[in-house]
Structure formats: C-alpha cells, structure tokens
Amino acid sequence: MKNQILKSFLVLIGGAFILESCQQEDTIPPVIHSVFVNDTIGQDFAVMPGDSLAIRFTIIDDYPLSQMKASIHDAADGHSHNGVVDTAAVVPNVGLWVDTRILALSGTTVTKTLYYVVPDTIHGVWHWELQAVDESGNSAEEFVVEFDVQ
C-alpha cells in the first residue's frame, strides 16, 4: 500500500513538472500603440502655457501587463530617446515642468487617458515619455512626444 501511494505521488509530481516545463516563456515585449494628444496623433506638438492636454494611448501585449510609467522632463539639452543628440536645437528652457506617474496595469490591452495642464511659467522643449512592462518583465520600446512650449 505504501509503495502504491509513493508511486502515485511520484507520478503526480513528475506530471506537474512536465506541465510546468511545457508552458511557453513570454519573451515578447508590450507595444505602445496609438498615442493621441488632444485627439491628434503625432510625436511633436507646439503648445502654449496654460493649455490643457489629454494624452490617450493604448498598450497591448500577448501576456498580462504589469505597469506603466509616464513622465514629463526637460529636453532643452538636445537629447533624444533614440541615442541621437541634436546639439543644434539646444536652447535653455524657462521654468520647471516635471511630472511622473506610475500606474499598475492588468489585462492584455489597456487604454488610458492622462490629463495635464502646461504650467504658465514655462517655455522651451519638453518630453512626455511612456514606458510599459508586462508581468514577465519585458519592457516596451519607449514612446516619446515632444512639446515645444511657445
């Protein structure tokens, strides 16, 4: 009887191990899809101090999403997020505009709208950057929108 129980237990453990090892590993990162600023698609916008911004975006993946980070930061140094530096465009910014939002996500498709007001005290070039990660730790290619505050 003890032998039969031991054999059954080993078969059960072996089966569970085989099932676990057969599951596919998630290696595909999320994709940031369709980013709209005030219902206009694009990556470069001229805005005025005091303007309201509604940034709507969709993030998709084949496995569940985990979180996203949206941040606004100074871009007056000419940096870009694709490794190219535009030193000809370096103009000092006026004022400070920094905003970072980290949100938990769930599901395989998420559409969100984030709302901002351009501070009255700034002028210059700013980046809005969106990053996303899925539950397996795969990171989406970041998406960057540039705002030229007139």
Looking at the domain assignment, is residue 13 inside a domain? no
Task: Give the separation between CA 7 and CA 146, rounded to whole angstroms.
Answer: 64
The tens digit of pLDDT for each residue in 82-122 reads 555 555 556 688 999 999 999 999 999 999 999 999 999 99
Between 148 and 84, residue with greater pLDDT: 148
- Residue 120 is encoded by which pair of tokens? 């009255």
The tens digit of pLDDT for each residue in 6-56 reads 455 445 455 555 545 456 798 999 999 889 999 999 899 999 999 999 999
Looking at the domain assignment, is residue 9 inside a domain? no
Q: What is the pLDDT of residue 85?
A: 54
Task: Give the separation between CA 61 and CA 38, rounded to whole angstroms.
Answer: 25
Predicted TM-score of the model (pTM): 0.78
Looking at the domain assignment, is residue 85 inside a domain? yes
Looking at the domain assignment, is residue 112 inside a domain? yes
Looking at the domain assignment, is residue 10 inside a domain? no
DSSP the chain: -HHHHHHHHHHHHHHHHHHHHHSPP--PPPEEEEEEETTEE-SEEEE-TT-EEEEEEEEE-SS-EEEEEEEEEE-TT---SSS---GGG----BS---EEEEEE--SSEEEEEEEEE--TT-BEEEEEEEEEEETT-PBPPPEEEEEEE-
Q: What is the pLDDT of residue 76?
A: 82
| Structural domain containing residue 126 | 26-149
Looking at the domain assignment, is residue 53 inside a domain? yes
First CA to last CA distance, the chain: 84
Looking at the domain assignment, is residue 82 inside a domain? yes
CATH number at residue 53: 2.60.40.3880
With cut-offs at 50, 70 and 90, classify the pLDDT of residue 77. confident
Q: What is the pLDDT of residue 103?
A: 98
Whether residue 81 is predicted with pLDDT greater than 90 in this model: the reply is no
Looking at the domain assignment, is residue 14 inside a domain? no
Task: Give the separation between CA 60 and CA 25, rounded to whole angstroms.
Answer: 17
